[in-house]
Amino acid sequence: MNIVVVESPAKAKTINKYLGEDYHVLASYGHVRDLPPKDGSVDPEEDFAMSWQVDSGSEKRLKDIIAALKDADQLILATDPDREGEAISWHLAEELERRKKLKGKKVSRVVFNEVTKTAIQQAFSEPRELNMELVEAYLARRALDYLFGFTLSPVLWRKLPGSRSAGRVQSVALRLICDRESEIEIFKPQEYWTVDAKLSTADGQKYGARLTHLRGNKLDKFDLANATLAQDAVDLLEDATSFTIKTVEKKQSRRNPQPPFTTSTLQQEASRKLGFGASRTMRIAQKLYEGIDLGGETVGLITYMRTDGVTLSADAIASGRDLIAKQYGKDYLPANPRVYKSKAKNAQEAHEAIRPTNLNLLPRDVVSHLDDEGRKLYELIWNRTVASQMESAILDQVAVDIDVAQGQAVLRANGSVLRFDGFLKLYQEDKDDEKDGQDDDRRLPKLTEGDVANREEIEKEQHFTQPPPRYSEASLVKKMEELGIGRPSTYASIIQVLQDRDYVVLEKKRFKPEDRGRIVVTFLRNFFSKYVEFNFTADLETQLDDISAGSVDWKKVLRGFWEAFHSAVDETKGLTITEVIEALDEDLSDHFFPTPEDANAKHPRECPTCDDGRLGIKLGKTGGFIGCSNYPECRYTRQLSLPDGEGGENDLSQPKELGIDPATELAVTLRKGPYGVYVQLGEAIEKTKPKRVSIPKGTPISDVTFELAQGLLSLPRDIGPHPDDGAMIIAGIGRFGPYVKHGSTFKSLTKDDDVLVVGLNRAVALIAEAPKRGPAAALRTIGAHPEDSVDITVHSGRYGPYVKWNKVNASLPKDKEVDTITLDEAVELLTKQLEKKGAKKKTPAKKKAPAKKTTAKKATAKKTTTKKTTAAKKPAAKKAPAKKTTKTEE
C-alpha cells in the first residue's frame, strides 16, 4: 500500500480515483505546523533556530496519516508544485521522522501542474526527493516575516497607540496606498480648453477634428488655459473662409494578443472584467484546479493557479491550434505557434501559465456543472488562453490634417478601421484603469488631399486635470508586480491583511488609507525608512529567489537582514511619545496644513474654535487625529484628513447646521463620526444623548438637505397594517441599513427603495421575501450520539456550518467539510461545546492552589513543539496553538 498526501480533501478525492486500489490518498489541510505566535520562535542567537508547533486540528490529520502508514510501504508527498507546497511536504516528512513513524518506509515527492489522469499518472512515474533549495527559500521567507513582525510590532504598540501589527511586505504595500492618497490631497487641478470642429465632405458625410496648431504655433495641452483664449481660437475658425485637406497619412498596424494568464494578470483581469477581488479570484481558481464533477467524473479544469510563468506546454499549444482552425477557421491561425517568455526573474516554480487542462472542454460544455462565478472565471481563462495563440488583429489607421485659412490654423482628424479582428474575436484586454484611453476606433469618410472640408460647427470645451486615481485591487497588484514586491501566492493575502488590520478600506472598489494606516506609514518612514523602501523590499525578494535557485545561502541572507534591522529597532528604544508626535506632525504638515496662497487667508494651523490655539497631530487610543494645543480648555478635534475644499460644502470637520426643527426648536446638524455621516437633533445634555440617524449608504453629503434630515429623524415610521394580520409594518434605518419590519420579521430595503417613501404594497412584498425563521433543515445526518442514540446532524447557519445534537450546537472548524466530518469528530466538537457552557455557569470555589507539576508540563511541551532547523536550547512553553496557516507566504 502507498500512502499519498495532498493538501485538500477535494483534491484527495479526485486523485484517489486516478491511482487505483494500491494507493490511499489523504489530505493535510495545508500546513501541519507553524511557528508559534510568541517571542523566541525564531532565535537569531542560535543561528536562527526555528521552533515549530502542531495545532490541534493538524494533530488529528497527522494521526490519520500515521495510522494509514502502519501497513504502508511508501509515503508519497504530492502537495502543490511551488515553494509553499514543497514546504508543506517537508514539514510532514520532518514531523513524521521526529515521531519515528517512517522507519523502513520510502519517502518520495511528486509534483503535477494539473489534476488530470494523464498528468497524475506521469507525475507518479517520475518521483523525486524533496527540493531543499525550495524549502530553504520558504524557511528564509518565514523567518524574515516573523522577525520583522514580532520585532517591529511591539515598537508600534508602544510608540503609536491604536496601531496594530506591521508586516514586511504589507507595510510597503500600505505605503503605496498612502503615498497615492497624499498625491491626491495636495493635487491642484489645472484648467485647460480644447476646440473641436465638426466638418463634412462634399456629399454630406460628417466627421470631427481637433485644433492642433494656431497662428503657426503647435498647441500644447495648457496653451488654451482659459475661456478667453479658447474663444479667440473659436472666433478664428468661425471667421475662416477655407478648410482644405492638407495631408492624409495611412498606415496599417497589427495588434498582438496578450500572453496567457499568470497569477497577477488573472487577478487584474478578474477584477476589471468580473469585479472579483484577489482573494475571491484565488478561491474560485482553487476549486477549478482541484476538480469539478462533470457528470460522475471529477476533473481539474485549470492548471495550477500560483505562477508567474507565461509558457504553455507543447501539447496545450498543439491542442489550441487545432481548436482555432476548427472553431474559427485557418485565417485566425498564425503560421507559427506563439511563444511567450516571462519577464520575471526566476519565475515561480509552477512554470506553466494558467490555462484550461483541456481546451476542447468549451465554456458552454461545463456551464451546467459550475456555479455562476466558477463559470465566469473558467470562461475568462479559456478565452485568454485560446486568444493567446490566435492571429493578430489588423487595423487601418488614418491621420488627416486640415489647413484653415491658408496656415492660420490646423485641425487633425484621427480614425481607425478594424480590417481583421483576429484574436479580438475572442478576447480583448481591458484598458489600464490608471490611464485615460483614447477612442481612436472612429471611422472617417474617404478624404483626399486638396479636397474642401465644409465647416458645420465649432465647439470649445473646458477641462481640468484630474488627480491620480486611488489604487484598485487590479492596479495595486500590477504596481507591486512592477516593483518586484511580493510574489504570486502572496498578493491576495497582502491585500486582505491590510483590510483586516483596518489600515485601508475599499470604497467603490478603490483603496483609501485609514487614519491608523497613515500614521503607521509615516512612523515607519521616519524611523525605519530603509524597510519601507521599494528597492530594499524588491532586492530582498530577489535574494529569496536566489535561495530557491541554489545560488545563495539562506542563513547568510537572514544574518544580513537581522544585524541591520535589530540595530534600527534598538535605536528607537529611547523615543518618547512626544518625539514621535513631533516627527509625525512635521512630516504630515504640508499635507494637512498647507500654507494658503492668499496671504490674508486664515492659516490651517489656526484653531477655528479658540483664539490662540495651534492645530497639530495628536495620538489617541484609536489612532491619530488633529487637535488643538490648548486642550483641555479647547476640545476642538477633527479626523486626520484635509478639510474638503477648505471649508466647502462637504467639510464636516465641524457640525454643519441644516436648520431648526419647528417642533422642538432644536438645531438639526450634519456630522461625521467614526462610523460615517449622520444627522443629529440638538446637543447632548449631561447623560442624555440626542437623536441621531445615519445617512443611507451612497447618499452624497451635498444631497443631505434640511427636509431629508427631518425625514430621517422622524424614523422609524409606520407604513400601514399588514393585510394578513393587521399588525403595523414599520420602516427604519438600523445597523445594516434601511429596513421594513413586520412583527419579528425584518427585511432590508434594496438600493432602489427609499426608506422615507416606501409604500404598503412594496413593504408587504418585501416581507414576503424575508426568510422564515425556524430550525434550519439538516444538510446531513452523521449518526447516533453514543450517549443517548439521538442523531447528530449538520446544518447551515448564519456563521457557517455546524453540528447539532439535542439543544447543543457546535460550529465546524474551517478545515472541516460538511461531507467529510466523522461521527467521532462531531461528538468531540459537541463535548467541547458542553464543557464551555458548563465552565461559564460554574463559579470556582476558593481553595489552595495545587503544587506545580513541572514534569507533566514539560512532557506536554515536548510533544507539541520541536526545533528542526537547529537544535533548540529549551522546549517552547505550552501556549494556545497558533492559528493554522494555509497558502500564504506573507
Residues 765-780 have a mean pLDDT of: 73
User: pLDDT at position 703, please?
Assistant: 76
Q: Is residue 474 part of a domain?
A: no
Split at pLDDT 50, 70, 90, the class of 228 is: very high
Split at pLDDT 50, 70, 90, the class of 147 is: very high
Span of 330-339, 377-386, 837-846 with lowest mean pLDDT = 837-846
Domain edge (last residue) among 412, 429, 464: 464
Query: Same domain, yes or no, for 423 and 436?
Result: yes
What one-character DSSP code corresponds to residue 424?
A: G
User: pLDDT at position 698, please?
Assistant: 67
Q: Which helix (H) or strand (E) holds 151?
A: helix 132-159
- Could you tell me the sign of the dihedral formed by the alpha carbons of 803, 805, 806, 808, in that order? negative
pLDDT at 610 over 70: yes
Domain that holds residue 832: 778-841
What one-character DSSP code corresponds to residue 344?
A: S
pLDDT at 770 over 80: no
Residues 270-286 have a mean pLDDT of: 90
Q: Which helix (H) or strand (E) holds 538?
A: helix 534-548
Q: Is residue 167 part of a domain?
A: no
pLDDT at 645 over 50: no
Grid cell locating 641:
484628513
Q: Is residue 850 part of a domain?
A: no
Domain edge (last residue) among 413, 433, 464: 464
Query: Same domain, yes or no, for 17 and 82?
Result: yes
Q: Is residue 100 part of a domain?
A: yes
User: pLDDT at position 773, please?
Assistant: 57
Q: What SS3 class is residue 243?
A: strand
User: pLDDT at position 448, please?
Assistant: 92
* Percentage of residues of the chain with pLDDT beyond 70: 88
User: pLDDT at position 839, please?
Assistant: 52
Residue 716 burial (CB count, 10 A) = 15
* 659 bridge partner residues: 668
Strand order in the sheet with 74-77: 23-27, 2-6, 74-77, 106-109
* Percentage of residues of the chain with pLDDT beyond 90: 40
- Among residues 590, 446, 555, 753, the alpha carbon closest in space to that of 47 is found at 555
- Could you tell me the sign of the dihedral formed by the alpha carbons of 279, 280, 282, 283, in that order? positive
d(CA 562, CA 531): 12
Q: Is residue 215 part of a domain?
A: yes
pLDDT at 886 over 80: no
Residues 845-864 have a mean pLDDT of: 41
Residue 856 burial (CB count, 10 A) = 10
Residues 706-725 have a mean pLDDT of: 89
Position with higher pLDDT, 751 vs 466 = 466
Residues 98-116 have a mean pLDDT of: 91
What one-character DSSP code corresponds to residue 876?
A: P
- The pLDDT tens digits for 369-405 are 998 999 999 999 999 999 999 999 999 999 999 999 9
Query: Same domain, yes or no, for 273 and 243?
Result: no
Q: What SS3 class is residue 791?
A: strand
Position with higher pLDDT, 654 vs 778 = 778
pLDDT at 173 over 70: yes
Residues 540-561 have a mean pLDDT of: 91
Say what the pTM is.
0.67
Most confident option among 10-19, 322-331, 739-748: 322-331
d(CA 610, CA 545): 58
* 217 bridge partner residues: 214
Query: Same domain, yes or no, for 351 and 275?
Result: yes
Query: Same domain, yes or no, for 402 and 379?
Result: no
User: pLDDT at position 186, please?
Assistant: 82
Query: Same domain, yes or no, for 238 and 274?
Result: no
Catalytic site residue 491?
no
pLDDT at 861 over 80: no
User: pLDDT at position 89, please?
Assistant: 95
Position with higher pLDDT, 212 vs 37 = 212
User: pLDDT at position 631, please?
Assistant: 86
CATH number at residue 225: 2.70.20.10
Is residue 426 within 8 A of residue 386, CB to CB? The reply is yes
Split at pLDDT 50, 70, 90, the class of 704 is: confident
Residues 766-779 have a mean pLDDT of: 72
Terminal alpha carbon distance of the chain: 37
Query: Same domain, yes or no, for 197 and 293?
Result: no
Residues 409-435 have a mean pLDDT of: 82
Return the biggest CA–CA distance within the chain.
108
* Among 304, 471, 531, 678, the one annotated catalytic: 304
Query: Same domain, yes or no, for 237 and 201?
Result: yes
- Could you tell me the sign of the dihedral formed by the alpha carbons of 653, 654, 660, 664, in that order? positive
CATH number at residue 25: 3.40.50.140
Is residue 36 within 8 A of residue 51, CB to CB? The reply is yes
Contacts of 751 (CB under 8 A, 6+ apart): 698
Position with higher pLDDT, 489 vs 888 = 489
Q: What SS3 class is residue 658?
A: strand
Q: Is residue 768 part of a domain?
A: no
Residues 268-280 have a mean pLDDT of: 90
User: pLDDT at position 651, please?
Assistant: 54
Strand order in the sheet with 865-867: 42-43, 49-53, 865-867
pLDDT at 167 over 50: yes
Q: What is the 3-state secondary structure (H, E, C) of 635-654?
A: CCEECCCCCCCCCCCCCCCC
Helices (H), 293-431: 314-328, 363-366, 372-387
Residues 33-60 have a mean pLDDT of: 90
Query: Same domain, yes or no, for 11 and 117?
Result: yes
User: pLDDT at position 491, please?
Assistant: 85
Is residue 171 within 8 A of residue 501, CB to CB? The reply is no
Residue with C-alpha cell 535589530? Answer: 566
Residue with C-alpha cell 462533470? Answer: 294
pLDDT at 620 over 50: yes
Query: Same domain, yes or no, for 379 and 427?
Result: no
Span of 81-90, 280-289, 774-783 with lowest mean pLDDT = 774-783
Split at pLDDT 50, 70, 90, the class of 776 is: low
Residues 714-736 have a mean pLDDT of: 88
Query: Same domain, yes or no, for 109 and 11?
Result: yes
Distances (CA, A) of 147 to 305, 383, 602, 801: 29, 43, 47, 36
Grid cell locating 143:
523567518
Q: Is residue 849 part of a domain?
A: no
pLDDT at 361 over 90: yes
User: pLDDT at position 410, please?
Assistant: 97
pLDDT at 248 over 90: yes
pLDDT at 289 over 80: yes
- What is the average pLDDT value for the chain, to the nearest integer? 84
CATH number at residue 329: 1.10.290.10
Domains: count for the chain: 4
User: pLDDT at position 352, please?
Assistant: 86
Residue 806 burial (CB count, 10 A) = 12
Split at pLDDT 50, 70, 90, the class of 67 is: very high
pLDDT at 104 over 60: yes
Residue 67 burial (CB count, 10 A) = 12
Split at pLDDT 50, 70, 90, the class of 868 is: very low
- Among residues 569, 467, 458, 485, the alpha carbon closest in space to that of 524 is found at 569
Q: Is residue 39 part of a domain?
A: yes
pLDDT at 890 over 60: no
Query: Same domain, yes or no, for 10 and 65?
Result: yes
d(CA 407, CA 746): 72
